[in-house]
Amino acid sequence: MAVPPAELAERTLAHYRDRFAAHGDTPLGVDWNGLHSQQVQFRQLLQLLPAEGRFTLTDFGCGYGALLDELDALPGGPGRIAYLGCDLNAEMIARARERYAGRSDVVFEVADSPPRESDFSVASGVFTLRLGRSDAQCAEDLEHALDALDRSSRHGFAFNCLTSYSDAEKMRDYLYYPDPCRLFDLCKRRYALNVALLHDYGLYACTLLVRKTLPT
């Protein structure tokens, strides 16, 4: 039986509330195993973004806003990107607002899907937990989330997942390991002709970049 959306949201909130209560605004607090893996994943996602010019970006499942540190380090520095972070967890959103108070280019909102259209969207670590669902249920929920990212992204979106190519002895039954090739095919057929699958950065994970338009 499928997990109802409201129950899935509650399970997700409960998990991340526990992590955040235990570890605060750190990578462990949003379920990364350390700063290195968090930053490596961010840097794959940011390959989607143009090297120059101003644009808007939605960070779906933003947690406490750690991606902003990577964005600020891009050429052009703070202010080039109008950033919107959204997350289910109101406690994380409150902390993110504290961390980046006074930034006119930054907005954080409590939301379970992208609240409005942006030029680009990214989702990091959002599709990792099984939360009592079967592979088929996880795949269906992932597709619904990607549909929402597609609808809210003018020029493209990027997301990461664990991978079915993980070593069997490293895999955990509470985590979801989709087939990267299936995700690539889905994105090519449903969202855009220009799709990149990144699976070469030393983690048991993959990143997909979906480009609706190419840089000029």
The stretch 103-122 carries a mean pLDDT of: 96
Q: Residues 60, 114: contact at Cβ < 8 Å?
A: yes
When divided into structural domains, the chain yields a total of 1
Judge whether 152 lies within some domain.
Answer: yes
Q: What pLDDT, in 10s, does the model give residues 136-158?
A: 999 999 999 999 999 999 999 99
How buried is residue 37: exposed, middle or buried, by Cβ count under 10 Å (0-12/13-18/19+)?
Answer: middle
Judge whether 156 lies within some domain.
Answer: yes
59: enclosing H helix or E strand? strand 55-60
Domain that holds residue 83: 5-211
Judge whether 150 lies within some domain.
Answer: yes
pLDDT of res. 1: 59
Judge whether 106 lies within some domain.
Answer: yes
Q: What pLDDT, in 10s, does the model give residues 114-126?
A: 999 999 999 999 9
- Please give the mean pLDDT across all residues of the chain: 94
Judge whether 195 lies within some domain.
Answer: yes
pLDDT of res. 216: 64
Q: What pLDDT, in 10s, does the model give residues 29-87?
A: 998 888 999 999 999 999 999 988 999 999 999 999 999 999 999 988 888 999 999 99
Please give the Cα distance from 94 to 99 (Å, whole number). Answer: 9
Name the percent of the chain lying above pLDDT 90.
Answer: 86
Please give the Cα distance from 177 to 135 (Å, whole number). Answer: 8
Residues near 148 by beta carbon (within 8 Å), at least 6 away in sequence: 113, 114
Q: Residues 3, 11: contact at Cβ < 8 Å?
A: yes
Name the percent of the chain lying above pLDDT 70.
Answer: 99
Please give the Cα distance from 173 to 175 (Å, whole number). Answer: 6
Cβ neighbours of 149 (radius 10 Å) = 24
Reference 162, options 154, 153, 170; nearest CA is 170
Q: What CATH code is carried by the domain that includes residue 101?
A: 3.40.50.150
Reference 164, options 127, 192, 209, 189; nearest CA is 127
Judge whether 216 lies within some domain.
Answer: no
